[in-house]
Amino acid sequence: MPQRDFEELMAVLDLRNGGDDVFYGAHPSRNPVRTFGGQMMAQAFVAGSRTLERYLPPSALSIHFIAGGDPEHDLELQVVRLRDERRFANRRVDVVQDGNLLATALIAYLSGGAGLEHGMAAPDVAPPHELPTIEELLVGYEETVPLFVSALKPIEWRYTNDPAWVMRDKGEKLGHNRVWLKARGELPEDPVLHNAALVYASDTTVLDSIITTHGLSWGHDRIFAATINHSVWFHRPVRFDDWVLYSTASPVAAESRGMGSGHFFGLDGQLLATVVQEGLVKYFPAR
């Protein structure tokens, strides 16, 4: 099953080229009610990157979600070439389905070369091989979080803290979440796909700290969440078929909106990427 899920992710990222900078992206066999935002972002990133005249490393991606996608229909990714220079490029990617605009992404590419370097320290956590798998953490919670149990799992997760549903059982709260992630298969020697896998995975766990800060959990509590916008800044090259640590927290929640911020660290402790996501988060307490 894990290998098949990984192969499905690779198929989802293998866009069909429709010509004139238009690409088409399929859905995997198992989907939530709406198109998974991470899939939409990763496909938009691949579409924009496939129109570059030569490879340039990405520096930033920012996407605004406008409407939910229907997993029964392919996505159309329309690329607009905004800039092409020797070291710089910019793309806009409109994600369309059945004539409706679902999301707009802006992607910046920059080959900066060597320069000043510093970065924040990675959290001190247990290594991934000492931690339980996501499948082990879901045992006994099949009826509590059935969507998590049945979800596509092309990325391996190793929580360094209890996930929300276990934390809720223990009556605990936590203002951060830290998870080791890596693709469940060997990625091709294509930096576009390694970065796309990171973008895909960046939409997982990033909003968890909004609810764990309040001692709540998906499944246990009546919570509705939908991503409004999502940004990724790429600092260094990444290999996503090796372990990376995704450390997330929520600096604020107000007016039924919550923000999650995250950092990806390599096994060597270097900061690889930074993520910020804003989501609509509605909590309906039991009466």
Integer CA distances (angstroms), 234 to 160, 198, 213, in order:
23, 10, 27
What's 88's domain CATH number?
Answer: 2.40.160.210
Residues 6+ apart with CB under 8 A from 190: none
pLDDT at position 42 is 98
**pLDDT band at residue 101 under the 50/70/90 scheme:** very high
The reported pLDDT for the residue numbered 65 is 98
Rg of the Cα trace of the chain?
18
The total domain count for the chain is 1
- Per-residue confidence band for 184, with pLDDT thresholds at 50, 70 and 90: very high
Residue 265 lies in a domain: yes
Does residue 119 fall inside a structural domain?
Answer: no
Site of tokens 């796309």: 196
Tell me, yes or no, whether 43 lies in a domain: yes
Residue 101 falls inside a structural domain: yes
Residue 1 has pLDDT above 80, yes or no: no
Please say whether the dihedral angle defined by the alpha carbons of residues 159, 161, 162 and 165, taken in this order, is positive or negative: negative
Q: Is residue 74 part of a domain?
A: yes
Q: What's the domain range around 76? A: 2-113+124-283
Distance of CA 187 to CAs 49, 234, 244, 278, Å? 17, 18, 14, 29
* Residue 118 is assigned to a structural domain of this protein: no
Q: What pLDDT does 234 receive?
A: 98
pLDDT band with cut points at 50, 70 and 90 for residue 114 = confident
Give pTM, 2 decimals.
Answer: 0.96
Percent of the chain with pLDDT over 70: 99
pLDDT in tens, 12-68: 999 999 999 999 999 999 999 999 999 999 999 999 999 999 999 999 999 999 999
What confidence score (pLDDT) does residue 112 get?
87
Nearest to 106, CA basis, from 119, 120, 121, 95: 95
Provide the 8-state DSSP code for 218: B
d(CA 197, CA 241): 9
Q: For residues 32-63, b (16+ Cβ closer than 10 Å) or e, as one string? A: eeebbbbbbbbbbbbbbbebbeeebebbbbbb
